[in-house]
Every structure is written in C-alpha cells, then in structure tokens.
Amino acid sequence: MLFFLHIFFRKARIPKMFNYRKLVQSNKAFRRLMSTTTEELIIQEKNNVGLITLNRPKALNALTLSMIHSMHPKLEQWEKETNSVKLVLVKGAGGKAYCSGGDIRAITQERGGSMQKQFFRDEYKLDHLIGTLKIPYVALLNGIVMGGGVGISVHGTYRICTENTMFAMPETGIGLVPDVGGAYFLPRLNGSLGMFLGLTGHRVKGRDCLHAGIATHSVDTEAIPDLEKEILNNPEDIDTILTEFTEKSNFGKDKGFSLDENMKSINSIFSAGSVEEIMSRLGDDGTEFSAKTLKTLKRASPSSLKVAFRQITEGKRLNTLAECLNMEHRLVTRCCENDDFYEGVRALLIDRDNKPKWNPATVEEVSAELVDSYFKELPADQELNL
C-alpha cells in the first residue's frame, strides 16, 4: 500500500531502540500522518455526484490517515443518501498521480506502534467499503497508481485509465506483500498474470491497464474535462458515458497488450507450485524476458515472495474481498514485526544503496514454518474482522 518512488523520501533513520529521540520521531510521524488540512482532500457534492479530489500533488497524492478518516464516513453518508448522491467520482490533483500510496516514513518510524497498526486497519476498512459500496464508484486513474492508490480504486465499480496511467504493486521489493485486497483481485486476472504482477511489481501502463483487466474504461487525457462534465450532468448514464469515451479514446489503440507475446510464458511459469519452481522455470526458459524477470525476483525479499505467493494462491479460493483483507491484515502485521520491511525501506528509500540484506537471504532458506507464522490468527482483539 506504500508508494515506492525514491525521490519523494528525505533521508531519515529508523530508530533502533526506545529513547527520547525515538519518542520525538514517532510523535512527529504520528502527527504528520494524522495532520491534514481540508486542502489535502477536497470533498464536494455537485449535481448528485459526490466528488473527491486527492489534493497532495507534491506527494503524488499519497494517503494520510486523516484523509482515510475523512473519506470513510463521507462514503458511508453518500451511500445512505441515494436520493441526493447517485455516484462517487474520485481523482487525483496535479496530473502526475491518482494516488501513489501511503506515507512510508511515518509508518516505519514507529515500529509496531499504535499509529502503524491503525493506519493499516483503517485503510483496509476503507478499501472494503469501496468494494461493497451500493452506489457507483468511479476512479479516474490519471498518473501513478500504486499501493494504497490501488486499494482505493481497483475495488470500485469503474476504473478509467489514461495514457499517463502507471499501475504497479512493488511491495515485495521493500519487504511487504501486495496488500489492499491484492489477494482478491490479482488471482482473478487472466491466467497467471496476477501472480506475475504481485511477485515482480511489473509496471502496467496506459491502455495495458484495460487489456489486463485492471481498468474498466479509458479516456484521453485531453478529454478528461469533457468526461467530468458529462458525468456531473448525467450521473445516471454513467455506463453509456464511459462506453462512449472509451470508444473515442485513441491512445494505444494501434498497439496490443504489451505482454501478449509473453503471456504464454507467464501462464506456464507463474502457475508453478512454488516460488522456487517459478525461479527455476525462469532460469530454464532462456528468453530475455525470463532473464529480466528472474533478476527482478532475486532483488526482492525472499520472505515476501513466498508469503505473497501463498497470499495470492489462498486469495483465489477465498470468496470475498473481506476474507482477503482479513488475511492481509495478519500478513502486514507480521511484516511490520519482522526485519525485512525496515531493511527494504532503508536500502531503497533512505540510504538508497539498493543493497538490502534480507533475512533469510534466499527463497530456499525461507522455511515453511516462517511462512506459516505470517498466516496465523492474531489475538482476538487485533483481528480485522470485516
């Protein structure tokens, strides 16, 4: 759920022991995650449309806890007021991102603390509400969509991509798992595409989001103002409006799905019964694509890879988004208790040496017992229980 772009994180050391400095840092982190002005999240009602604008363009519209706390009750209110609000439209300000995730510095500076736990718990509750909302929820995915941005879009009724859309779930690269409901939607993509995306963090751009099943519709960036106007004027005609704008959108129409030529290999390789077997098949395949993919997997946290593999496999048999989020809440809680998450953040986002020292260091060293420990139930008062 965390946004992954290195340049937007200033250097900050993760505290290693409890002392005054840690207390100050964690309190600052808590205030940064909680504090927001009304400008960070613009909520409006226009012509029976509930309009939410994520308005932190300098932070690529990353979510704060306060933004989550503002969105959730407002969506609940609109769901009850169906006579006045027929549809919800969510977009990001600035043109560079829909939403790139959460505030990773705030989350990692209070290891295992109450703020950290509250963020994930409340984020997942919001994701579940979006996935079960009784009025149409339209996410305009113009720009970067990562981590938490995936959670507040992909479970909605409509997801509209543009030529600027860049979707990815790169969590295994920082010692996490593809959460925010990844266990639900990833295994429901065609073939083994979801397992490939969840383990590798591969970036899906533009119309590829439509081909992959991540987006439901498309619109040219220059036509976004016209699309918004049509939605605001005729929210009851949302299906017709989105179909018409998709048919008129031109970006990428002369190209097929960029992964088409690799889908046979993806389906064959990523349907294997273990991460070790996936990596073995990639090594045996002999193609440039497989070599590049294997290199990507070798850079990721071995523990995260094996937990994510089981997460996506389990998600395929689970029936509801709620069940998947309940499971992921356990997984992320355990990620926050173990070292790889903090080491991944240090190596990729803080020191930026790109040399994380994972523990265990290889997938072969990740025991079944360790993987099992991530999936065990939490104490009753800590379960998400959606």
pLDDT value, residue 38: 52
Annotated catalytic, 102? yes
Among the listed residues 50, 147, 148, 156, the single catalytic one is 148
pLDDT value, residue 11: 34
pLDDT value, residue 42: 97
Q: Does residue 343 sit within a domain?
A: yes
Provide the residue range defining the domain that includes 375.
Answer: 6-382
Q: Does residue 340 sit within a domain?
A: yes
HSE of 164, CA atoms in CB hemisphere, 13 A: 17
Among the listed residues 103, 171, 230, 328, the single catalytic one is 171
Q: Give me the average pLDDT of each 10-residue run along the chain (386 residues).
A: 39 32 41 50 96 96 94 97 92 97 74 83 98 98 97 98 98 96 98 98 98 98 98 97 97 94 97 98 97 98 98 98 98 95 91 95 98 97 96
pLDDT value, residue 104: 72
**Number of domains forming the structure of the chain:** 1
Q: Does residue 127 sit within a domain?
A: yes
pLDDT value, residue 105: 67
Q: Does residue 243 sit within a domain?
A: yes
List residues bridging with 140 in a β-sheet.
Answer: 160
Annotated catalytic, 103? no
Annotated catalytic, 110? no
Annotated catalytic, 39? no
Q: Does residue 211 sit within a domain?
A: yes
Among the listed residues 50, 92, 101, 102, the single catalytic one is 102
pLDDT value, residue 117: 87
pLDDT value, residue 109: 72
Q: What is the DSSP string of 96-139?
A: SEEE--B-HHHHHSSTT-HHHHHHHHHHHHHHHHHHH-SS-EEE
Give the CATH number, domain containing residue 106. Answer: 3.90.226.10
Q: Does residue 1 sit within a domain?
A: no
pLDDT value, residue 111: 77
Which two three-digit tokens encode residue 265? Answer: 């290999």
Among the listed residues 103, 110, 123, 179, the single catalytic one is 179
How many Å separate Cα 353 from the centre of its chain?
24
Q: Does residue 144 sit within a domain?
A: yes
Q: Does residue 240 sit within a domain?
A: yes
pLDDT value, residue 12: 34
